[in-house]
Amino acid sequence: MKAHRLFALVVAALFPISSAWAIDEGQTRPRLSSASIFSPNTTVDLVPLTNGSGNLKGIHCIFDSASSNRLQQVDIFVDGGAAQSLSLFAGDFPQESSGAGRTGTGFIPMNVRFETSLKIQLKRFSSPAVSYGVACLASWALD
């Protein structure tokens, strides 16, 4: 019996049970940021550099054309680290059935915890050279 207790203590010491880092118990101040990008070779801030800890809830982008060659890159910088990039293709998201207005809308749920800072940028490349619009929203919160 003592050997089982000792084994349990050793396992608990080597593999401690920790709380989930991305937990949000409702004690945050919610924020909503938006940005649009239209021209090739452009970068805009969706969430300018923040100061403090918090949680990134998700990103929602709306493409004005559902063509599958429409690409939007989203760069997420957590705690001053290197960019974590998402490449969003308009054709991967549900389309409006009427064909009018905006099409290709997508929501990417997240639960990313940051301790010191968060920054999110939208980036358009040189190709395709035609102008098209992408509007994005980010739901995030500071502690």
Residue 88 phi/psi, 5-degree rounding, is -105, 125
Q: For 32-70, what is each residue's pLDDT tens digit?
A: 999 998 888 889 999 999 999 999 999 988 887 655 566
Quote the domain boundaries for residue 93.
37-137
Give domain status of residue 7, yes or no: no
Q: 84 pLDDT band (50/70/90 cuts)?
A: very high
From residue 95, how far is each of 17, 28, 106, 131 by CA, in Å? 43, 33, 9, 20
Residue 27: inside a domain, yes or no? Answer: no
* Domain containing residue 97: CATH number: 2.60.120.1390
Number of domains comprising the chain: 1
Token pair belonging to 132:
């098209």
* 14 inside domain: no
Does residue 13 belong to any structural domain of this protein?
no
Kindly report the pTM of this predicted structure.
0.74
